[in-house]
Structure 1
Amino acid sequence: MSAAGEAGAEGDAATRSTRLRAYQEELQERMQAAQSGARLRVHQLGLAMGGRRWLLDLTEAGEIVAPGPLTPVPLTRPWYLGLANVRGALLGVIDLVRYLGEEAGTDAPAAGPARLVTFAPSLGFNCALLVDQVYGLRQPGAMQRKDGLLRDAEGHAWRPLSLAALVREERFLHVGRQDANN
């Protein structure tokens, strides 16, 4: 690569890094405002998993990071993908679509880079979801409820997701296989 090409690539990386940092700071400010009870319009994080769109409450989300290598854990359920090291913390990585036993949907094609969305520390659970794409902030109040789902102005269906409810599910807490059929 030429020196000009390398400089351009470094500039692009710096620009992406700056945008990512600003995005994370905005998310952090909104999460702090939500936790302090400040009355802002309710925003949720839009995610794509398994070809479906999901809305996640910002107070339940931790960091959004690029997935690194996963270390498989033997004798675990198929939806438990393994362990990831995120800033020195070991997190169990979950494939939510497999956990729910759903087929992939068709509403949201996986077009973006995969990410790990960690659970908020307040949930007390060292876990992350492997997501196909992060859409950013969404405002459910601006969506219409139809067929039990929220629909945005473009007609995309969004499903609510509660990590707090997920970590209270007995089946979610037991990642070990009971027999060879699980």
Structure 2
Amino acid sequence: MSQTTPELLSKPVLAKRDIGARRTRLREFQAQLVERMQAVRSGAQEHASQLGVMIGQTKWLLNLREAGEIVSIGSITEVPLTQDWFLGLTNVRGNLISVIDLAAFQGQPATPIDKDSRIVAFSSSLSFNSGLLVSRVMGLRNISEMELQGPADGTATPWIAQRYIDRESQVWTELNLSLIVQDPRFLHVGL
């Protein structure tokens, strides 16, 4: 016969409270991030803020006018006979969007999907139902507080705009989503 002690009863209760507290903090963070993104889009903030994300092992900056909704990874339906960087389709609020692994698109190792992974949908202003798989959303970054390193990659990839170094000496690469959706290789997902 097992004994019931207050210690044994409190562990599951504490675990549930811990999970609930983490979810609450995550919701609050996401709500604050959405508010800040909307403030930047409306011009209420003077900073040159961009959304910082990690894709594979690279830190990227996305223009808030080009980045849309940030969503958790749900089910992604694979599409046969497509490139390995084209992960498939997912449903975001009733809209099917294609999910792209930018790291794999660039010939780097595929971005692993874990608890921190998200999909950053392209803004509806781009008229392109797609989203990028990101390893982690790192919040808003003020590029006016970073040191410009100049053009990132030359003419080989025009959608890679500038490189910056932040105060912690981390390199950030600016990704122009409006140009990547014009890249013929990006548009050709079939084998």
Conservation of the 8 A alpha-carbon contact between 2:41 and 2:64: no
Q: 1:45-60 residue pairs with structure 2 within 5 A?
A: 45-60=51-66
Partner of 1:152: 166
The higher-RCO structure (CA 8 Å, 6+ apart) is 1
**Aligned residue runs from structure 1 range 8-157, under 5 A:** 8-101=14-107, 103=108, 113-146=116-149, 148=151, 149-157=163-171
Percent identical across equivalent pairs? 46
Q: Which has the larger displacement, 138-147 or 11-20?
A: 11-20
- The code of the aligned residue for 2:128 comes to F
Which residue pairs with 1:171 in the alignment? Answer: 185
Return the alpha-carbon distance in structure 2 between the equivalents of residues 48 and 62 of structure 1: 16
TM-score by length of 2: 0.77
1:107 match: none
- Report how far residue 112 of structure 1 moved: 7.2
Matched, 1:161 2:161: no
Match in the other structure for 1:4? 10
1:137 is paired with a residue whose SS is strand
> Following TM superposition, by how much is the alpha carbon of 1:150 offset from its aligned partner in structure 2, in angstroms?
0.4
Once residues 114 and 75 of structure 2 are traced to their aligned partners in structure 1, the CA distance between those partners, rounded to angstroms, is 21
Separation (CA, whole Å) in 2 of partners of 1:22 and 1:167 = 32
Structure exhibiting the larger radius of gyration computed from Cα positions: 2
Deviates more, 1:151-160 or 1:141-150: 141-150
Displacement of 1:111 in angstroms is 9.5
Give SS of 1:59's match.
coil
| TM-score, length basis structure 1 | 0.81
**Cα pair distance change 1:9/1:60, threshold 3 Å:** farther
| RMSD, matched Cα | 2.3
Q: How big is the shift at 1:121?
A: 2.1
Do the aligned partners of 1:112 and 1:133 also contact (CA within 8 Å) in 2?
Answer: no
Alpha carbons of structure 1 residues 111 and 85: separation in structure 2 relative to 1, 3 Å: closer
Aligned residues of 1:46 and 1:134 also touching (Cα < 8 A):
yes
For structure 2, the residue ranges without an aligned partner over 5 or more in a row are 1-7, 152-162
User: Aligned partners of 2:68 and 2:20: how far apart in 1?
Assistant: 23
Unaligned 5+ segments in structure 1 are 105-109, 178-182
Which deviates further from its counterpart, 56-65 or 73-82?
A: 56-65
Shift of 1:67: 1.2
The CA deviation string for residues 38-96 of structure 1, in whole angstroms up to 9 with x for no partner, is 34212111111121110111222222222122211011112101112233332211011
SS in 2 for 1:155: coil
> Against the structure 1 CA distance between its residues 118 and 12, is the aligned structure 2 distance closer, same or farther, given a 3 Å change threshold?
farther
The Cα shift of 1:23 comes to 2.5
Q: Is the 8 A contact 2:84 2:104 kept in 1?
A: yes
